[in-house]
Amino acid sequence: MRTLIWMLVLGFIALNPGRVSAEVEVVMTNSDPVVAVHSNFRGQAVTLFGTVETPPPEGQSYSVVVVVQGPSSDWVVREKTRQFGLVLNAQSATYERVPSYYGIFSSSPLEQLGLSGLSVFDPTALAKSLREDVFAPDFDGELVRLMQARGRFSVSDRGVVMLSSTAFSVRVPIASNATNGLYLARAFVYAGGERVADSTTRFTVRTQGFERYVADVARSNPPLYGLVTILIALGTGWLGGVLFRR
């Protein structure tokens, strides 16, 4: 139920009491609709560009927050304990539909914008909303720490660059271990402490070439993939024995 509520919050962006002005529109696009992942992929940055089609009100300026969310999957966070010299699993917490990537980029610190208390801009609040186990709050921060260590959760207070009073850009880092799938980027524009516009763009991370074929076979036909892997291992071992036989 909490997962459904979270998705509704993100989808409809019920972030503050103010209503979005119908007179302000923002358009956003990206530099790479498809990020191709090959065997030598070491990461890449996708640049998002946006422009607000209406100048800011007199005496005010626009502030922009961009949230990028990757494909979701379930996670289990386990606590490790040492007992009798052995490292064993202890308590655990299950999280449903955790984004494989969750980046928050803003033109100014969220505290200055008065947005730090909003759950959509807080990775720890996100983890709490996705946690299935009610009585395991200590694991929320640990999930965020693990995801940040893998480059999958990030918060950048100066990640959005205002190119002019109405134009902005943001570089979204895609790590080498990025999950394949559709990534959703949504920009929220604020003026005078009120949200005045929002816009959405998408890009896809996709494995290409022979690596994609292998991944597709592994998903669609696991027994065949396992058999071929064993045969390749046996063949490699036999060939090595022949080549280096004395």
Question: What's 197's domain CATH number?
Answer: 2.60.40.3880
Grade residue 102 by pLDDT with cuts at 50, 70 and 90: very high
Question: Is there a single domain that holds both residue 101 and residue 179?
Answer: yes
Question: Is there a single domain that holds both residue 142 and residue 223?
Answer: no
Question: Is there a single domain that holds both residue 67 and residue 138?
Answer: yes
Question: Is there a single domain that holds both residue 135 and residue 223?
Answer: no
Per-residue pLDDT tens over the stretch 129-173: 888 876 777 788 888 888 888 888 888 988 999 999 999 999 999
Q: Which of 77-91, 112-126, 150-164, 226-240 has the highest mean pLDDT?
A: 150-164
Question: Is there a single domain that holds both residue 144 and residue 177?
Answer: yes
- Please state whether the predicted TM-score (pTM) of the whole model is above 0.85: no
Range of the domain at 218: 209-246
The count of structural domains within the chain is: 2
Question: Is there a single domain that holds both residue 151 and residue 217?
Answer: no
Question: Is there a single domain that holds both residue 162 and residue 96?
Answer: yes
What is the DSSP track for the chain? Answer: -HHHHHHHHHHHT--SSSPPPTT--EEEEES-SEEEE-TT---EEEEEEEEESSPPPTT---EEEEEEE--EEEEEEEEEEEETTEEEEEEEEEEEEEES-EEEEESS-HHHHT-TT-GGG-HHHHHHHHBS-TT-THHHHHHHHHHHHTT-EEEETT-EEESSSSEEEEEEEE-TTPPSEEEEEEEEEEETTEEEEEEEEEEEEEE-HHHHHHHHHHHH-HHHHHHHHHHHHHHHHHHHHHHT--
Question: Is there a single domain that holds both residue 108 and residue 221?
Answer: no
